Amino acid sequence: MIGSGIFKVPRDVAASLPSPGWILVAWVAAGLLALVGSLAFAEMSTLYPEAGGQYVFVREAFGRLTAFLYGWTNIVVINSASVAAIAFVSAEYLLCSFGLVTGCALPAEGTTAYLLLYKSVTVFLIAALTATNAVGVLWGARLQNVLTAAKLLVLGALIAGALLPGRAHLENLTPFWTLQGSMDGGLVRAFQVAFLSIFWAYDGWYLLGFSCAEIREPRRNIPIGFVLGVLVVVAVYALVNLSYFAAIPLGEMARVVGPGGVGAEAARRFFGEIGLLFIALGVFGSALGAANGQILTGPRLCFAMARDGLFFRPLADVHPRFLTPLRAIVVQGGLSALCVFAGNFDDLINSVVFAAWIFYGLTVVGLFILRRRGVAGGAGTFRMPGYPILPFLFALFAFGFVIYSARESALQVQGSLKIILEGGSLAEAMKGLYPLLVTGIILLGVPFYIAFRRAGAAGITHRAG
């Protein structure tokens, strides 16, 4: 779960909400939503401890078409754009570290030269992770352990920075509560914008379900993993945000620019240039570890879909020497590299969040369907506490968030057409249209589903003949 979000998105959150108190409420509230969702996913994971996780849950509740559309969206948008966005942040901090170590002046941020360098490094990192995971699970796991250690070190250092006398300024926390300031369009609109960023920071809470088939004592360990994992991340995010406030006044936080964002600026104020280098390298490793985790889990979904005859069968093959789903890993890396050129960091995370919450809400609704059918596991199967109220509230929020975002996107269409007619840039015109683009990609999965079903039927007929 902990990757690039906690270092990258606080600036956007600070620009949306007016005081530290509301910002902490948003971070904790998003974490509690993830916790409720994880409880529902934990119950379904113990009912169906199979490779594929959320894909399996959706298939069992809604059927093969809906499951395919989830898998299609996850492969094309959610997982691929997530890897690209995380690699963006990793490349940003790597460039920051390079400049600190060598003293070389990097091209000015936003220039063509910087963007070319930035995206080239991002693609290189994706290629390196893809190659590492392709040649063996052990290499990917070893890399993940090293990068996780780097992540924990950098987070611990940032939290400890708030205790440094003369460097931490707790007066930055006042006023703790206020409704005046940076809000544009009211508190609801401010929280909607903030949640888009914060949900990205929590994204990944559902991934444990993909590994159900490989976990010992799944009925015991899966719920523990889901619940403790989310609670630890909520606590860490709250402490890191308090540390940011102690380093940077809220007004300045909303205007932080340059490689590294708020995380790098807080490190510089706490520890100076040497500390900034340490933090930059740590965040580089943290973000790279999150991307590596996505590349580790993605092929399991390809396997589950191919096993059902709903995806390209060769993607489920295991390489005879490396013993990895090499083709699936390479395809995942290739799609992620293409996403690097499909948009900037904000475009990618907004697309991921919108698509993900459609299926988060749908999956939790599936829990009601499964219980209504009387589906039950064996003795000791985990049951979600707070049912039916908590999953109902989760689904209500998820679909409300999706509908609100789609409505905002629809209203943006007129403004986008005006920008194009007035000769504005295409990138500017596309801002805010990600819900419509993602919806189009989801619907594009329908003809692919029909094609895969027909190909599967034709294959059965051919074998029978």
pTM of the model: 0.86
The pLDDT of residue 27: 95
Which one-letter amino acid corresponds to residue 246? A
The pLDDT of residue 203: 85
Residue 332 · residue 295 · CB < 8 Å: yes
Residue at token pair 């395809």 = 331
User: Concatenated DSSP letters for 430-453?
Assistant: HTT-HHHHHHHHHHHHHHHHHHHH
Going by pLDDT thresholds of 50, 70 and 90, the confidence category of residue 7 is confident
The pLDDT of residue 310: 84
Residue 243 · residue 27 · CB < 8 Å: no
Name which of 115-119, 212-216, 281-285, 293-297 the model is least confident about: 212-216
Helices (H), 162-260: 187-202, 218-247, 250-253
The pLDDT of residue 426: 56
Going by pLDDT thresholds of 50, 70 and 90, the confidence category of residue 460 is very low
Neighbour-count burial of 192, counting CB atoms closer than 10 A to its CB (0-12 exposed, 13-18 middle, 19+ buried): middle
Question: 417 or 98: which carries more pLDDT confidence?
Answer: 98
* pLDDT digit string, tens, across residues 426-450: 566 566 678 888 999 999 999 999 9
pLDDT above 70 coverage of the chain, percent: 86
* pLDDT digit string, tens, across residues 200-215: 889 888 877 776 666 7
Domains by residue range for the chain, with CATH: 5-464 (1.20.1740.10)
**Residue-averaged pLDDT of the chain:** 83
Angle formed at CA 365 by CA 362 and CA 370, multiple of 5 degrees:
120
The pLDDT of residue 111: 79
Neighbour-count burial of 427, counting CB atoms closer than 10 A to its CB (0-12 exposed, 13-18 middle, 19+ buried): exposed
**Residues contacting 344, CB < 8 A, separation 6+:** 88, 427
The pLDDT of residue 464: 38
Neighbours of 416 (CB within 10 A): 19
Question: 464 or 129: which carries more pLDDT confidence?
Answer: 129
- Half-sphere CA count of 334, side-chain side, radius 13 A: 6
> 96 vs 90, 147, 246, CA distance in Å?
10, 18, 23
Cα 395 from Cα 400, distance rounded (Å): 8
The pLDDT of residue 236: 92
Give the distance, in angstroms, between the CA of residue 337 and the centroid of all CA atoms in the same chain. Answer: 16
Question: 463 or 304: which carries more pLDDT confidence?
Answer: 304
> 450 vs 58, 293, 304, 359, 456, CA distance in Å?
18, 31, 18, 21, 10
The pLDDT of residue 422: 65
The pLDDT of residue 237: 94
pLDDT above 90 coverage of the chain, percent: 32
389: pLDDT strictly greater than 90: yes
Name which of 10-19, 394-403, 416-425 the model is least confident about: 416-425
Question: 37 or 97: which carries more pLDDT confidence?
Answer: 37
The pLDDT of residue 416: 67
225: left (phi over 0), alpha (psi -120 to 50) or beta: alpha
* pLDDT digit string, tens, across residues 218-243: 777 888 888 998 999 999 999 999 99
Most confident of 139-153, 154-168, 295-309, 429-443: 154-168
Question: 49 or 168: which carries more pLDDT confidence?
Answer: 168
The pLDDT of residue 463: 41
